[in-house]
């Protein structure tokens, strides 16, 4: 098996030079649950050279219906380890490891990345990611989902503090909406890593209205 044959359809899209560029990139996904699982399936076989998954949590029964990397046989296992194993089982050309730790511990490892993807599901961690990004110069992509609403933003110069939203526990989450938002997040990430244009510091706000129509709004973050 060669990388040219494995990534054939993607090479048709943007050529061997861009595909080779992806193989030099390294990303960290913070969280391996709903968003993290979907990101793993979207990006794990894209040709990104190295993908680290960061999550200290184990798989619970109620996770499995919306966290698509997991089966009933995975209950009780570490999420980051399972997701990392899945990526490597699907793609022989990727380096990946599951890091069983929280973001605070991860941030002191001194590892270098091209991009950080937020799949953390809590405000405290997002603020930590934002601080880490600001200090290290590594851009990050925020994403969140609640019910039939989702948000995505590529942070470069903007700051997460602009949201000024008090933390709360989501009332519920529709599984397809998790995959939808992760898909947008993954597409932005892949375009950025491949050297294509992406909107920076622009919040995508997506929701289904009362008639079932998908609405997408965009808001610029204050500089």
Tens of pLDDT, residue by residue over 35-63, are 999 999 999 999 999 999 999 999 999 99
Give residue 87's pLDDT band: very low, low, confident or very high (50, 70, 90): very high
**Lowest mean per-residue pLDDT among 72-76, 101-105, 158-162, 164-168:** 164-168
Per DSSP, what are the bridge partners of residue 26?
50
In whole angstroms, what is the distance from residue 25 CA to residue 48 CA? 6
In whole angstroms, what is the distance from residue 11 CA to residue 202 CA? 29
pLDDT of residue 222: 78
Give residue 174's pLDDT band: very low, low, confident or very high (50, 70, 90): confident
**What is the rounded average pLDDT of the residues 165-193?**
89
Query: Is the pLDDT reported for residue 163 higher than 80?
Result: no
Give residue 72's pLDDT band: very low, low, confident or very high (50, 70, 90): very high
Cβ atoms within 10 A of the Cβ of 203, count? 19
Segments making up each domain of the chain, as ranges: 3-220
pTM exceeding 0.75:
yes
Is 3-220 in CATH node 3.30.70.260?
A: no
Query: Which contiguous run of DSSP H or E holds residue 214?
Result: strand 214-220
**What is the rounded average pLDDT of the residues 121-144?**
94
Mean pLDDT of the chain, nearest integer: 94
pLDDT of residue 157: 85
| Torsion sign across C-alpha atoms 139, 151, 77, 88 | negative
Closest CA to 116 of 83, 87, 137, 141: 141
In whole angstroms, what is the distance from residue 20 CA to residue 191 CA? 14
**What is the rounded average pLDDT of the residues 26-31?**
98
Query: Is the pLDDT reported for residue 173 higher than 90?
Result: no
Give residue 104's pLDDT band: very low, low, confident or very high (50, 70, 90): very high
């Amino acid at each position: 098996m060669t990388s040219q044959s494995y990534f054939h359809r993607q090479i048709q899209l943007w050529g061997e030079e861009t595909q080779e560029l992806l193989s030099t990139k390294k990303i960290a996904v913070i969280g391996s649950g709903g968003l993290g699982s979907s990101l793993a399936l979207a990006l794990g076989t894209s040709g990104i050279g190295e993908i680290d998954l960061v999550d200290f949590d184990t798989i619970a029964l109620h996770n499995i219906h919306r966290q698509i990397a997991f089966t009933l046989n995975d209950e009780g296992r570490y999420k980051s380890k399972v997701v990392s194993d899945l990526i490597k089982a699907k793609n022989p050309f990727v380096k990946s490891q599951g890091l069983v730790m929280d973001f605070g511990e991860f941030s002191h490892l001194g590892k270098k990345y091209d991009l950080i993807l937020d799949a953390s599901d809590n405000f405290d961690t997002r603020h930590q990611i934002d601080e880490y990004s600001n200090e290290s110069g590594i851009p990050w992509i925020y994403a969140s989902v609640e019910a039939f609403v989702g948000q995505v933003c590529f942070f470069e110069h903007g700051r997460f503090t602009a949201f000024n939203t008090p933390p709360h526990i989501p009332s519920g989450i529709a599984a397809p909406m998790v995959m939808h938002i992760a898909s947008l997040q993954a597409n932005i990430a892949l375009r950025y890593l491949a050297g294509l244009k992406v909107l920076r510091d622009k919040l995508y706000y997506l929701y289904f209205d009362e008639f079932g129509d998908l609405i997408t709004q965009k808001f610029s973050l204050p500089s």
